[in-house]
Structure 1
């Protein structure tokens, strides 16, 4: 692994074996600081630009809210569980250009979070008001008002329910990624989440 010049003040290293660039940061939320926001906007733009979208475009946005019931926790509250949810709703997603971004949301005085799945479907009808990847990223921005969500009590509640704490911790850092299916209409892995699995495979 070779050192690179700092990017936005964050130490960067290139791993030629994996073909990846890694950043060291203390960011737990994109809106934690100006530098964190710029870093994760840059990462998100990479995933948007590689799709080679034709601008200007319009975005149809919708979201699904998954409440922390016992059934939902056992079915959806994991990396593979989110993919399972999308597989169940693939008819809205196949043959479209749709990006996805998850959000973890703690309601007032709640010890377990809801999962909010944000969908951004590209189209070219109506007002085409997204002119470039900067505008796309701005549309997908999720601002966390409470950046100290994981209190000791909430961490303990997650562990008691068998929810991976580090996965929950990392959700605010996931960029919007395109939803893709293989030839058998099976949802494919999300590249950023796969590259960063080591950050949330084990509970703290």
Structure 2
């Protein structure tokens, strides 16, 4: 297994194909969002892949907001042919290690995950193995395809005692949905006010 940096010229198309096959359309971002994130978020945004025999086995994207000492795992995707081979575990461990290297004062890592009508996320038990806990907050992903917002669970892993967790959550929300997705702040403010 080899860890690689995915760029617009290196494994990007393979990652986008895998992404499109993995996520339902209502929560899927456009390729342009990935490209914009690589360009605009610079050192804050990482797009990391794991290859096996030169085949993309999976990828993880994340960014770090150093002003708030928080990391956000955006996507963790594993190719169906490589599931059960610890690809997700290796990618998540690498991302956590990388985030703490980027910000040695990192306090919290968070991620969002879709949930069913009972509030259960499909990967909840996996995230619990890595000490992520479901944060008790009303969390919505804005409609990314001009559709209704999608209820999500927010999972938090505390690295150090967090001084301003809610402020960090709102700043990460703005970075993901305003900076990367271009959703107007006025629209996001309604979701933030209801958290």
Q: Whose strand fraction is larger, Structure 1's or Structure 2's?
A: 2
Higher RCO (CA < 8 A, seq sep 6+): 1
Tell me which structure has the larger Cα radius of gyration.
Answer: 1
TM-score (normalised: structure 2): 0.25
